[in-house]
């Protein structure tokens, strides 16, 4: 059974001066106190903007409206090396080891010193550092397992010898400079290394932090960066973190006017959150009732019984049927009750695969 995702955790990383903390402030709309000299990570939980929830709430007029949530972690910018760029060190990634996905913020604007952006090289450096950080973790684990194997006779198979064989495979792959995403593992092997929190196994997306003048007018270097990301199968988008932070500090009406003046349809933070969902293979479904309209997060491929369990274990235990309406059909009908009366909803069994945007009502008996 695929379970509910209470909220996903996304780690924001980037080289010094990339604007990653500015982006964090924009995403959290300044709700989290940020000290640029702090050596601790900044953490903020953000409601996921979703116009579908807004429509359903306007129709049902519930007492409570609950959007899905996402937790962003701005890792402390610890670096090693005299120039602050020579090595990020394992400590740099300590704050984001346990996240579900990583967002790498890359500088796409001239530095304060006037240095031109080197976006592709900066991205490559971070990818290499992810590999090195995993290599160090695997080597540390190998040392511990090796101590456990003292006294084990050669040729005898134990959980320790099985783990060591797998660690050696991981080590060889990383030594060749390759991400562990490209290493084929069995289902059992994937389960056994889940607790390692290997960085190069995590979904990764890149954000190119561009100057305001390039919004809507990508430069040659921006196009080259996106081409490099596409070649590496890394989802990428560009935004101006400074503008996003300004937008985030405005009231909704002012925000709309400001975005219109820049020719922007919506804040890039909304696009980024949707891309995070896509990168992680997540979807949203909705429930409607007088007390609450709520968005729930599930893994893609989840069944109706999973949706029931996400809402409450009793619904899964006494599951009879799921009444489901695709959001677009519900909207076209004028709302949930109208869609039920028009026959736009359908009854499904527990094995129905939930789609993104489904409005779900669970019929159950316990």
Residue pair 106/225 in contact by the 8 Å Cβ criterion: yes
Of 272, 281, 282, which is closest to residue 20 (Cα–Cα)?
Answer: 272
Residue pair 57/295 in contact by the 8 Å Cβ criterion: no
Residue range(s) occupied by CATH 3.40.50.300 in the chain: 8-118+201-280
User: What pLDDT, on a 0 to 100 scale, did the predictor assign at position 40?
Assistant: 77
Residue range(s) occupied by CATH 3.10.20.30 in the chain: 301-364
Residue 62, classed as helix, strand or coil, is coil
φ and ψ at 93, to 5 degrees?
-100, 5
The two tokens of residue 19 are 């604007």
User: What pLDDT, on a 0 to 100 scale, did the predictor assign at position 273?
Assistant: 85
The two tokens of residue 342 are 């028009």
User: What pLDDT, on a 0 to 100 scale, did the predictor assign at position 86?
Assistant: 41
- Any alpha helices (H) in the chain, and if so which ranges? 20-27, 51-60, 89-92, 119-148, 159-175, 187-193, 220-231, 241-248, 252-262, 268-280, 304-311, 313-317, 327-333, 336-341
202 contacts: CB under 8 Å, gap ≥ 6: 99, 100, 101, 102
Taking the model in full, what pTM does it have?
Answer: 0.85
CATH superfamily assigned to domain 129-199: Obg-related GTPase Ych/YyaF, coiled-coil domain (1.10.150.300)
d(CA 241, CA 347): 45
CATH 3.10.20.30 holds for 301-364: yes
User: What pLDDT, on a 0 to 100 scale, did the predictor assign at position 266?
Assistant: 83
124 contacts: CB under 8 Å, gap ≥ 6: none
Condensed to tens digits (0 to 9), the pLDDT of residues 39-81 reads: 678 899 988 888 999 999 999 999 999 998 889 999 765 554 4
User: What pLDDT, on a 0 to 100 scale, did the predictor assign at position 164?
Assistant: 94
The two tokens of residue 178 are 């390759």
The DSSP symbol for 207 reads E
d(CA 159, CA 152): 11
Residue range(s) occupied by CATH 1.10.150.300 in the chain: 129-199
User: What pLDDT, on a 0 to 100 scale, did the predictor assign at position 36?
Assistant: 64
CATH 3.40.50.300 holds for 8-118+201-280: yes
Low-confidence ranges of the chain (pLDDT < 70): 1-7, 36-39, 76-91
d(CA 87, CA 92): 9
232 contacts: CB under 8 Å, gap ≥ 6: 127
d(CA 346, CA 325): 7
């Amino acid at each position: 059974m695929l379970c509910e995702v209470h909220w996903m955790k996304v780690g924001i990383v980037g080289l010094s001066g990339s604007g990653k903390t500015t982006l964090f402030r924009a995403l959290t709309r300044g709700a989290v106190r940020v000290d640029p000299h702090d050596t601790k990570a900044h953490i903020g939980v953000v409601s996921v903007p979703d116009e579908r929830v807004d429509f359903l709430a306007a129709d049902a007029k519930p007492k409570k409206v609950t959007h899905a949530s996402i937790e962003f972690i701005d890792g402390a910018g610890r670096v090693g090396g005299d120039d602050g760029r020579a090595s990020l060190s394992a400590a740099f990634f300590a704050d984001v080891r346990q996240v579900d996905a990583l967002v790498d913020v890359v500088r796409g604007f001239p530095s304060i010193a006037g240095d031109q952006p080197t976006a592709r090289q900066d991205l490559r450096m971070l990818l290499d550092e992810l590999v090195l950080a995993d290599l160090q973790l695997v080597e540390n684990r190998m040392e511990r397992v090796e101590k456990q194997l003292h006294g084990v006779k050669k040729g005898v198979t134990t959980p320790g010898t099985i783990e060591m064989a797998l660690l050696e495979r991981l080590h060889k792959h990383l030594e060749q400079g390759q991400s562990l995403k490209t290493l084929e593992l069995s289902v059992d092997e994937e389960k056994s290394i889940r607790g390692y929190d290997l960085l190069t196994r995590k979904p990764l997306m890149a954000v190119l932090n561009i100057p305001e003048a390039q919004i809507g007018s990508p430069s040659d270097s921006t196009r080259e960066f996106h081409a490099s990301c596409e070649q590496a199968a890394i989802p990428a988008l560009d935004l101006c973190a400074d503008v996003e932070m300004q937008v985030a500090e405005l009231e909704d009406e002012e925000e709309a006017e400001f975005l219109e003046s820049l020719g922007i349809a919506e804040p890039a933070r909304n696009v980024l959150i949707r891309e995070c969902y896509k990168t992680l293979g997540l979807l949203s479904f909705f429930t409607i009732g007088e007390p609450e309209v709520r968005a729930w997060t599930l893994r893609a491929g989840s069944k109706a019984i999973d949706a029931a369990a996400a809402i409450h274990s009793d619904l899964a235990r006494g599951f009879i049927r799921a009444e489901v309406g695709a959001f677009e059909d519900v909207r076209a009908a004028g709302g949930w009750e109208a869609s039920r009366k028009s026959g736009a909803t359908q009854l499904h069994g527990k094995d129905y695969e939930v789609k993104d945007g489904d409005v779900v009502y669970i019929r159950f008996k316990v």
